[in-house]
Amino acid sequence: MTKQPSQRTLTALLGLAVFLTISVPCSLLIVLGTGCPGALAAALTLLLGGILMLLILQRYRKYRYRPGPALLAVVIGCAGALLAVLGVLIFGLAWADVNPATYTYRVTVTGLDNYTGGPVTDILVPLPLREGKMIFSEEDLEGQRVGAWKTLFAETPKGRMLVFQTMERDLSDISVTFGSPVEKYFLIDDITRESFSPVVTEAPAGYTRWAFGTGDVQNFTTLVRLDEGIRPKTADAGPIVIHLWITAGGGRLHGITGEKYQVEVYEAIPPGVTGFVPVRAQVARFGDVGIVPVRE
């Protein structure tokens, strides 16, 4: 003889059945979408849930239990399902909230009009790399015309670098900006590994102009290179000023907004200094009041 289930047991089962019958199909539609797979899974769940609720209500009627607890179970099940669906919806929206970080690389080299070069003159600057991989495609950087200069890549003992090359004897200033969102990069973890490359352990040469005020700004060392054939036209030619900016970050990954940084190299290299020059990369962060230097 089958033991008669208690009213408490049937009431709990009814509330659970209502909760699952509402929350599971709605969640499936949110996660899988309203296409064929999502709609089919939701319809099957509704059918099974409806059958289960009918069986429980049939038992209620068979044993002549009071309807009040059953009604309360339905209300609680509906309320719980509503909260669960809202939670899934909020989580789903946050999970789908993905935007790429924006990378912009700006290069200016001024003071060159006071200098001459050889038959071919090269100026090398660091590349924007993230954990050893190029942020921009080769097509974005290589073969660009910037006035009398063209861009190409060079493999150096310290790593790959971006080259500005000209065959003009009388040199001219350089100014160019590369920038676009890059789909595969999101949050910035370590800005020293996600901006200028190469990063070296050598001490800076000492030609830094501080971009963010005082010298207690977080910084690391990278490299530039001036062609040995660069010569000042006059004794008072003045420095060659190399100013590089990388703006990086600001992406969103699963609802989490990443930090946005600006990293600058700002160096005034005096006449007669050529070859590889270790330079400081200064780090600042975009805050509520604008760009704020990251202090050491």
pLDDT in tens, 121-163: 999 999 988 777 888 888 888 999 999 999 999 999 988 999 9
More confident residue, 233 or 39: 233
Burial code (b: 16+ CB inside 10 Å, e: under 16) for 166-199 equals: beeeebebbebebbeebeebbbbeebbebbbbbb
Output the six-digit token pair for 133. 């991989």
Average pLDDT over residues 190-195: 72
Q: What percent of the chain has pLDDT over 70?
A: 91
185 pLDDT band (50/70/90 cuts)? Answer: low
Strands 256-257 and 252-253: antiparallel
Quick check: 270 pLDDT over 90? yes
More confident residue, 40 or 227: 227
The pLDDT tens digits of the residues spanning 90-108 come to: 777 666 666 777 788 999 9
The pLDDT tens digits of the residues spanning 222-268 come to: 999 999 999 999 999 999 999 999 887 777 776 677 778 889 999 99
Helices within the chain (DSSP H only): 7-32, 36-62, 67-96, 138-141
Measured on CA atoms in the order 57, 59, 64, 69, is the torsion positive or negative?
A: negative
Characterise 252 by phi-psi region: left (phi > 0), alpha (psi -120 to 50), beta (else).
Answer: beta
The model's pTM is: 0.70
180 pLDDT band (50/70/90 cuts)? Answer: low
